[in-house]
Structure 1
């Protein structure tokens, strides 16, 4: 009976020891997956050197491992600033970034969780970077030269976040808005520009028409000059008389039976025609 009780106690103790060993074994190892890095803290103090992917032995019960995702993260961050011409410009940025694995221990010591990184570092630095980029140009330039605004923003944000161990991979402007007052001013400017373009078109049209009139007048004057030279030449009066007859025939009026034209011999050649012979 006594030996049986002793044996039962041995079994219980062995079970307790085995359970303790199992618990120790589960708390003595940690697996870091690809795309992750761990920071080991012993008694609340972060140790140097990040834990990379694989299995790691850690002190049980007195240690803790904070795991950070090193893959690309994306967050949308709002921003608002005043432009060079003191207009309010609002934007929303989509920021793709990842944590620098070399600095993950410093990030754990200074910033803590990824949520803290976004709220305490990325969001305010995005706002400051947007202010820097927007202050260099007017609101109209910010809209019409959006790529240049983004380039200045990217440069400022990348430089500011790099010292915190945050690598900016890409940014995009999700939304860019301006004040209602500026929107109204833009609309009025467009209307004014359309009116100015219409006025320029009308002026050019009038100018072209005036030039056409000048060209027609020059052509008419040249024709008259050539006609005058023809009439002055020998036989010119005959040309004039022929033109008069042709005009009379085509004009539809009743032609006279006899037409007599005379004048001095210097300026005209008298002639006598019987127009009855010219009619059908």
Structure 2
């Protein structure tokens, strides 16, 4: 006959085993996650989405994958169309396709494997495709087009593996030191050339203005000559002489002699002091 202590111990072990088997027969998948059930090392069809799921105890396990947005920075290096070295670093936002999680588990394994074995090399290849379509200078001036080509190539490549690319951004984009210096020198030369063109245009405009002023002056003199030759020209001269006295601030002369017998002739002026000096001599 068994003692009470042995019986109680045996019952406790059985209860513990049943409790352990009961708890290990269920798995909880949280929101934003997906699980893949494996029995005796073989992945089973059908994704375990959020909720409570049964699994055979002791002989099964569930691999849980995060379906929320993941972000990784991946470096890449390539050569441009004109064979200039170009290095970049891209931030990639992606998530796993929940429908294809079982396929991902069978072919890629963990999320770490997905990043190192799929995303990193495919980023490198996509960057090569985008960079090879344009020269180094075009890669600078058409940076947005370079990114669009990169996005298109990366999305089509990762889609085959059940990876959905949501967004990418260029964290860094660099050329060789020699090329960067050449670009800077070219920009300086272009600025100097533009300045020279501006100075030449300014000089041309000033020269044209001088020509226009000369033409206007010549035209004015021509019209004045025609006026003087015409009847009444003497009145014009007389008027200008009076205006000259006024504008110059000089006093009116002490002697005013009109030429000839015509009152409209140009006035002839002389100074009485000059006459006095000549009389004494």
TM class by smaller structure: 0.7 to 0.9
- Asked if 1 retains the 8 angstrom alpha-carbon contact of 2:259 and 2:268, the reply is no
1:99-138 alignment, distance < 5 Å: 99-138=96-135
**Counterpart check, 1:144 vs 2:132:** no
Count of aligned residue pairs for this structure pair: 267
Q: Which residue of 1 aligns with 2:62?
A: 65
Deviation at 1:245, TM superposition (A): 8.3
**Counterpart check, 1:192 vs 2:189:** yes
Deviation at 1:176, TM superposition (A): 1.5
1:115-264 alignment, distance < 5 Å: 115-237=112-234, 239-240=236-237
CA pair 271-190 structure 1, distance change in 2 beyond 3 A: closer
1:31-50 alignment, distance < 5 Å: 31-50=28-47
Q: Deviations over 1:45-96 (max 9, x none)?
A: 1111111111222111111111111111111111111112221221111111
**How far apart are the structure 2 equivalents of 1:174 and 1:124?**
18
Q: Deviations over 1:180-222 (max 9, x none)?
A: 1121112111211111111111111111111111111101110
Q: Which residue of 2 aligns with 1:265?
A: none
Q: Which residue of 2 aligns with 1:266?
A: none
Deviation at 1:7, TM superposition (A): 3.2
Q: Which residue of 2 aligns with 1:55?
A: 52
SS of 2:217's partner is: helix
SS of 1:31's partner is: strand
RMSD: 2.9
Deviation at 1:152, TM superposition (A): 1.2
**How far apart are the structure 2 equivalents of 1:167 and 1:174?**
20
Runs of 5+ in structure 2 lacking a partner? 275-281
**Counterpart check, 1:85 vs 2:73:** no
**How far apart are the structure 1 equivalents of 2:112 and 2:231?**
109
Deviation at 1:130, TM superposition (A): 1.0
CA pair 39-274 structure 1, distance change in 2 beyond 3 A: closer
Which residue, out of 252, 267, 270, partners 1:275?
270
Q: How high is the TM-score relative to the length of structure 2?
A: 0.85
- Asked if 1 retains the 8 angstrom alpha-carbon contact of 2:238 and 2:266, the reply is no
Deviation at 1:140, TM superposition (A): 2.1
**How far apart are the structure 1 equivalents of 2:167 and 2:241?**
88
**How far apart are the structure 2 equivalents of 1:103 and 1:138?**
39
Q: Which residue of 1 aligns with 2:10?
A: 13
**How far apart are the structure 2 equivalents of 1:44 and 1:229?**
116
